[in-house]
Amino acid sequence: MSSGNNPVGMVIVAMAVLACILMIVLSLRYYRKTGRREAKPNPQIAAWAQSYCWAYLPEETDLTSRWSCPPFVKPSFGVFGTYATQVVSGKSPAGHTFLSFTYSCSYIGPSGGIVRKWIVALQLPTPLPSLSVGPKGLGNNIADAASTSRFTTGYQPFDQRYKVDTSDTGFAAAVLQPQTNLWLLEQGQSIVPFRITGQDLLSWHAGAAPNGTPALAAQLAALDEFVATLPN
């Protein structure tokens, strides 16, 4: 007799299917609850944002779909939802419009969970070719479809530590000058990984956005310093 006609086998299959459905339902409930909790107003962030004359929003859903490149995740099977919470916006010390927020992505499945990144986006004076710089290593894929060319600077310490992808190698060469490369290895390493996409400079780190001003103020100062080196 085939296993397909075996009542015991059919019961086992049905129980396995029900277990999978139950796992998905419980995961959905957990991620919805977590998303609502992360979107609650944070009085501490709101207070220091106001002290800097910056704006604060607990959540801004449009930010999750504004960019389609890494570190943002495209909708696919296994991705339950994405959230942009604890959003602070204003002007950097050099006068560039910025956004700071926690980007959360919920995954469903045996290896599921919630991945959070603190993202700072700085608006550039003009759109520029795509350029991404990130640490080498497994799982550090920050290239996108618009950045198809791998670029090396010729400076061994930089090329050993970082990988560069760009849509315009001439632009990458103009940006990654020796002095800038050295700065990115030392004082400016806090902005790595970063990406230039259109008129935005994106920098991100693992974990949620900070609750106080020192980390954001330092990151904005470093991003301003890097923008000042970009070719016109």
Among 173, 167, 175, 131, CA closest to 149: 167
List the domain range (segments joined by +) for residue 94.
Answer: 39-227
> Considering the domain boundaries, does residue 14 fall inside one?
no
> Does the residue 207 lie in any domain?
yes
Total domains in the fold of the chain = 1
pLDDT below 50 — which residues of the chain?
A: 1-3, 27-28, 30-31, 34-36
In a domain, 60, yes or no: yes
* Within a domain: 215: yes
| Tokens matching residue 62 | 């449009």
Whether residue 79 is contained in a domain is answered as yes
Q: 21 in a domain, yes or no? A: no
pLDDT, residue 35, reads 47
Residues 6+ apart with CB under 8 A from 104: 34, 35, 38, 82, 83, 84, 85, 114, 115, 116, 117
Q: Note the pLDDT tens digit of each residue in 148-166.
A: 689 999 999 999 999 999 9
pLDDT, tens digit, 9 for 90 and up, residues 2-32: 445 677 666 666 665 565 555 555 544 544 5
pLDDT on residue 105: 87
